[in-house]
Amino acid sequence: MRSQDISAVRDLPMFFGMADENFEDLVSVAFLQNFPAQVDLIREGDSADFLYILVEGSAELFARNDGRETSMAIVKPTSAFILAAVLIDAVCLMSARTLTASRLLMIPAEHIRRHFAGDKIFAVAIASELSKAYRQMVKMHKETKLRPAFERLANYLLRLAQENDGASSFALPADKRTIAALLSMTPENLSRSFGALNKHGVGVQGATVHIDDQQALEKFSCPNPLIDDPEIGLGVR
């Protein structure tokens, strides 16, 4: 395992304060693997055999039911996912696949549970991260239920701009069909919403979005910190 990979994983909030010897024992049984784009990693309904930590690349969490499919989240480095299923030895409620070529660390689930039971610092850190993840899920539900489609898109673009250090131009993290699913929209509704935002200084060309005046867009979209502020340190799904 490369030193930069170890450093990236060690910097996850769930490992803050963990004794070096415990962390080294935890990752000593892990598998670091490279995956090409569009490779299925887990399937909903399967047992959670590993905790996945995305070190490089990007991944999508998605779900299917009765012939329909929707995107649940896009995972970026450095983040862990399916932690809740790992902790309670349950089946996965979501599937996961790589969006781009990715590097993932896979820690056996029983090893995570053993350290969770025996390392108080590790357990407290995990509880904190799961609490933040739950709060983020509540914010997602509030956004879906309380905002019309064009407002969801406007605030999503403002959050992406913030993630890109306030840049006025940035790339969407996935294709437009996936973005539409993330925002609980149809691709057609997403296209109409982009059109509605044109008069507020938003332009899109392919996968690139440009915002002429972020302050004007904020005035129009009315961001709400109880929906839009990220949970600090969130690296768990």
Reported pTM:
0.88
Kind and range of the H or E run holding 179: helix 176-182
Q: Which pLDDT belongs to residue 237?
A: 65
Count of Cβ atoms closer than 10 Å to residue 172 Cβ: 17
Q: Give residue 236's pLDDT.
A: 63
Collapsing DSSP states into helix, strand and coil, what is residue 36?
coil
Structure tokens at 41: 């990693």
Distances (CA, A) of 13 to 71, 88, 96, 175, 197: 25, 20, 22, 29, 37
For residue 142, the SS3 value is helix
Q: Is there a contact between 173 and 182 (Cβ–Cβ < 8 Å)?
A: no
The predicted structure's pLDDT at residue 1: 67
Q: What one-character-per-residue DSSP string does 71-101 give?
A: EEEEE-SSEEESHHHHHTT-B-SSEEEESSS
Q: Determine if the peptide bond prior to 78 is cis (ω within 30°).
A: yes
pLDDT of residue 234: 57
Give the closest residue to 180 by CA, choosing from 135, 204, 149: 149
What is the Cα gyration radius of the chain?
19
- pLDDT tens for each residue of the chain, 237 residues long: 677 778 889 999 999 889 999 999 999 999 999 999 999 999 999 999 999 999 999 999 999 999 999 999 999 999 999 999 999 999 999 999 999 999 999 999 999 999 999 999 999 999 998 999 999 999 999 999 999 999 999 999 999 999 999 999 999 999 999 999 999 999 999 999 999 999 999 999 999 999 998 888 999 999 999 999 887 655 666
Residue 71 vs residues 63, 119, 131, 142, 235: alpha-carbon distances, Å: 7, 34, 22, 17, 18
What is the pLDDT, as a whole number, of residue 230? Answer: 81
